[in-house]
Structure 1
Amino acid sequence: MAREFELKMIGPPAALERLRRAQWLKSLTAGRANTAAMQTTYFDTSDFSLAEQGVSLRIRKQGRRLTQTVKSLNGKTAPRWDRAEQDAAVSAVAPEPALIEDGYIRKKLTHWTEAGELKPVFETDVRRTAIPLMSEEGLKVEAAFDYGSIRALGAKEGVSQPVAELELELKEGDSAALFALARLVARETPLRFSLESKADRGYALAQGATDKPVRAKPLTLNGDMRTSDAFALIMHEGLKQMIANENAILRGRDVEGIHQMRVAIRRLRSAIAAFGNAYDHSEIARLKGEMKWIASVLGCARDWDVFQNRTFAPVFAAFPKDSGLFAMAAAIRRVRRDAWAQAVAQLESERYRLFVIDIAAAISGHVWVDQTQSQTALAEDKTCPYERPLSKTAQKCLDKRLAKVEELGLRMADLAIEERHELRIRLKRLRYSADFLASCYARKSTKRYLASLSDLQDVFGELNDDAVAVQLVGKLLQTTEDTNDEPPEADLQRAGGLVIGWHMASGERLWEQAQRRWRRFADAEPFWR
């Protein structure tokens, strides 16, 4: 199959039009623009077996020509923008598996076609203007401006979404230069980098999952793979989850979208820390700073979501006629609205758009690889950290994380409040590292350990929610005082005391539960030993 290296940018149609007419883009134009209408039908089984395997099958009608295209990931560790692609001319809008080069895919599609299981699941109707671009350095790119719609078929028939996107396909040159071009687009327009293909959007429509929060998917790693490739795959999955939750926030205003994007960022940061200094390249270090920035902005909105829905709600339900609580409810809504507005504004900012592209570029270029260190290791007949099998790195990584947890956990009963908070963070880092690397080991050995770790982490999360609640009540009182809101300050102070007291009453119970769960976790055998 041929290789397709393509970056996608999405945004308002007006922004695409401004870009298409921009003088700087015209200065790169290296030929006539070609505009064509394309109708494309995507096929899969009723349970979306192709999509589950990262494969898409489509037939596109352009003029009188019908083309069947199969796309799949370009190897197990390839990112979403680097895909294998095979085209073949067909005579009808019906799959012809015999024309597919990949033997495994051909066999599967032949079986499903003969069994009548392969059906149209969605279609796109797009008008594409393709413009050839060439830079002075010799970079050749096809810039495709797509406008149209995606429409679900089958059970969700009639449900549709508009399409307005830019595809930058590398024809000749260095992929780093293509990312530089995407950065320029992000600086000049509000277009955002996306990992969601038209096929991804079509499947979301067909499954009723548009603008929904996206959880991290289990990783499939192999102990024999190079550590550098494993690190790239973990980082890519974190980036994919982060981007996938943008629409749940920007369009869906879903509180779980905020939470899952924060999870994705924490997983990215945890991966960098887990793999050690060899992977903490200067560019990765810079990106860690950007991750901390956006996590902080999202964290503010998330704190108020939790405070309103988990901390304040049961107290208000118990005392619905309390005037102080009633006023506090209004103040919470106002502060939470402001925190959400700030989160949305930052996700729509140029800084965030560039940050996302820079992570993708770092993953694509494996920027963490120190060529000098690699060459030195080769000259000394040693295995450099990037070439080392993942199985060796995994054990060292998990041992290090567990040792950090045990340093505090073994004196659990005597921990100060600040140390409890630190233990919560260390448990979270161990959990993410264990999640990343669990697939290198037998599932039976990982299941019990991960379950006990998850239970322990949950109770520490509840304890943290209570600790954050005290801080937020203070901020709420200060905010209300600054704005001279009514009712009298005394009513709000009383309400704040009621909220804090309600949850402090459960604090001792939670801490006793945490100690019991720690003992159960300490008895669990680490699956990597």
Structure 2
Amino acid sequence: MATETEIKLSLSAAAAQRLLELPLLAASERSTKLLRNTYYDTADRRLQRERIVVRYRQHGRQWLLGVKTAPPLAAGLAQRGEWEAPGRAGEFDFAHVDDVAVRELLESLRDELQPVFTTRFRREAHVLAPRSGVRIEVALDRGRIEAAGRRQSIREVEIELLSGSLSDLFAVALDLQAGVPMHPEAGSKSERAYRLLDAAPLLAVKAQPVAVQADMPTMDAFRLIAVACIGHLQANEQGVRDSEEAEFVHQARVAIRRLRSAIRLWEPLLPEAFVARFDPLWQALATQLGDNRNWDVFRAETMPVLAEVFAGTVDGARLASRVRGRCARYRRESRRALQSEDYSRLLLDFSAALVDLPVSPAGRLADFVPRCLGKRARRVNERAAAPLQTDVAARHRLRVAFKQLRYGLEFFSPLLAGPLLTDYHQSATALQEMLGRLNDLAVATQLVAAALPAASRVEVQAWLAAQTAALLPEFARLLDDFQQRLPPWQPPERPAGERSRSRQPAYSL
């Protein structure tokens, strides 16, 4: 089996022409070819569900049957199995696929395969040899996808590692991006073709579980989680850019928050320069999206209540107009942020830095998890000792610490088992929802000052303060309940004098 390792970057028509004029490419020999591809699947899209691609590629008079495994892209990087052999279009001989499970699946579906969409594009390729032992192909593809009578343009660069290391691959990608604005692509041609085929509405994407394993090196787990967070963010990029739906901004912000939490969880093991460089950049982006999210929440949840409660004293139409204006302003800023060259560079820079992280000296993940979560739980308890009933800033600090603990629980959930995790997570969820409600009221108090004239804002802010006060007893109860829960990464206490029958920990790490 060959492993295809490449970075995909999208670019504008003007940037595509400039790309070919860059000295790095202009000095190398160029080959040009027209490629026609027909993709196959079953009527019920079995291959799409299994993330396997089967296609016939026509190059001149030659037909090549290709099979690829298709893991999701993150920051444009794809690493997947690839098999290719000459064939006759419409005939399927999978003898060249040396992965037994993949081959057997394809052979079982052979009679059901049918064309589902096509791609046609011109490829202009250069092979670079930046140093001895390194060969990297840079291919500019321009053409179109055709599916169910619909078309979508293709204009992207594929930078494929032929020999060398991932660091070499990213070095070339970063050099090219420095010369021409390009954005790490969030989907392969086949993924985009399936979306075009379905003509389905764009939907916000939530975080998915990360398949960490107890015996994997601790730093490998960080890379895996960080890549998943980038994938979550990029899955919502188009929605932020093209949709008015608030959930896209929310999910993009959650993705960055999860990524920053992962950086904090692993901070003792990460190079100081890595944290110092990237955490402020992700924080700045999160702040931009956060302003958008705050006004979206105010518009959807707080404003209707205020308009009803203060129907006689607050001009509802004027309030709605002001809030809509703020939402539109901050939505434009979110779009600019995710369309900026700075954001495109951040995605590629961060991914390259992940590749270059040193091998962790901390051993396996199973040994890291109890120390990591224990530290976060202690920080929650320390911040819970502050005067939370009267101190809004202290509640915010508790909320930040609690989110890091909860995201840690989610990252490591495959390693934690049993009812302890269920109970702890349910209690944590209830407490986080309460902290969120209190935070929304605190933010609403600030936004009211921008949305309402001075004459009416005092009464509204007093009402918001009363709503906060009414929630504080329930908040105290939920906090106490959470603190009584036994952490799922700790073994249960045994009665005094009882000997342990086993050294096996209570958590399944």
With normalisation by structure 1, the TM-score equals: 0.84
In the other structure, the counterpart of 1:142 is: 137
Measure, in 1, the Cα distance between the counterparts of 2:53 and 2:409: 31
Equivalent AA in structure 2 for residue 4 of structure 1: E
Measure, in 2, the Cα distance between the counterparts of 1:135 and 1:80: 20
Equivalent AA in structure 2 for residue 11 of structure 1: L
User: Which of the residues 91, 97, 100 maps onto 2:97?
Assistant: 100
- Any residues of structure 2 matched to 1:162-311 within 5 Å, and which? 162-206=153-197, 208=199, 211-311=202-302
Whether the 8 Å contact between 1:35 and 1:127 is mirrored in structure 2 is yes
User: Which of the residues 408, 413, 436 maps onto 2:411?
Assistant: 436
Alpha carbons of structure 1 residues 161 and 501: separation in structure 2 relative to 1, 3 Å: farther
**Is 1:337 matched up with 2:342?**
no
How far off is 1:169 after superposition? 1.2
**Is 1:89 matched up with 2:50?**
no
In the other structure, the counterpart of 1:130 is: 125
Whether the 8 Å contact between 2:427 and 2:481 is mirrored in structure 1 is yes
Measure, in 2, the Cα distance between the counterparts of 1:346 and 1:422: 27
Equivalent AA in structure 2 for residue 265 of structure 1: I
User: Which of the residues 461, 468, 471 maps onto 1:507?
Assistant: 468
Between Structure 1 and Structure 2, how many residues are aligned? 489
How far off is 1:299 after superposition? 1.4
How far off is 1:25 after superposition? 4.2
Alpha carbons of structure 1 residues 468 and 63: separation in structure 2 relative to 1, 3 Å: same
Equivalent AA in structure 2 for residue 418 of structure 1: A
Whether the 8 Å contact between 1:320 and 1:326 is mirrored in structure 2 is no
Measure, in 2, the Cα distance between the counterparts of 1:68 and 1:61: 9
Alpha carbons of structure 1 residues 509 and 126: separation in structure 2 relative to 1, 3 Å: farther
In the other structure, the counterpart of 2:397 is: 422
Whether the 8 Å contact between 2:445 and 2:464 is mirrored in structure 1 is no
Whether the 8 Å contact between 1:141 and 1:170 is mirrored in structure 2 is yes
- Structure 1 stretches lacking a partner, 5+ long: 371-383, 478-491
How far off is 1:348 after superposition? 2.2
In the other structure, the counterpart of 2:349 is: 358
Measure, in 2, the Cα distance between the counterparts of 1:97 and 1:279: 44
Measure, in 1, the Cα distance between the counterparts of 2:380 and 2:482: 11
Question: What is the CA RMSD across the aligned residues, in angstroms?
Answer: 2.9
How far off is 1:451 after superposition? 2.3
Equivalent AA in structure 1 for residue 194 of structure 2: Y
Measure, in 2, the Cα distance between the counterparts of 1:295 and 1:273: 15
How far off is 1:399 after superposition? 1.1
Alpha carbons of structure 1 residues 42 and 128: separation in structure 2 relative to 1, 3 Å: farther
How far off is 1:321 after superposition? 7.9
Measure, in 1, the Cα distance between the counterparts of 2:448 and 2:485: 38
How far off is 1:207 after superposition? 5.0
In the other structure, the counterpart of 1:13 is: 13
**Is 1:109 matched up with 2:106?**
yes
Offset from partner CA, 1:436-469 (integer Å, 9 cap, x none) = 0001123654333222211211111111011011
Equivalent AA in structure 1 for residue 123 of structure 2: R
In the other structure, the counterpart of 1:454 is: 429
Alpha carbons of structure 1 residues 395 and 139: separation in structure 2 relative to 1, 3 Å: same
Offset from partner CA, 1:91-125 (integer Å, 9 cap, x none) = 223543443210111122233336x4x55444323
Alpha carbons of structure 1 residues 23 and 422: separation in structure 2 relative to 1, 3 Å: closer
Whether the 8 Å contact between 1:43 and 1:122 is mirrored in structure 2 is no
Whether the 8 Å contact between 2:32 and 2:122 is mirrored in structure 1 is no
Offset from partner CA, 1:238-284 (integer Å, 9 cap, x none) = 11112222111112243212111111111111111112311244134
Whether the 8 Å contact between 2:15 and 2:180 is mirrored in structure 1 is yes
Equivalent AA in structure 1 for residue 404 of structure 2: R
Whether the 8 Å contact between 1:301 and 1:340 is mirrored in structure 2 is yes
Whether the 8 Å contact between 1:56 and 1:71 is mirrored in structure 2 is yes
Alpha carbons of structure 1 residues 71 and 524: separation in structure 2 relative to 1, 3 Å: farther
Tell me the SS of whatever aligns to 1:96: coil
In the other structure, the counterpart of 2:26 is: 27
Offset from partner CA, 1:145-197 (integer Å, 9 cap, x none) = 22223344xxxx34443221111112234432332332233333332112421
Tell me the SS of whatever aligns to 2:412: helix
**Is 1:59 matched up with 2:56?**
yes
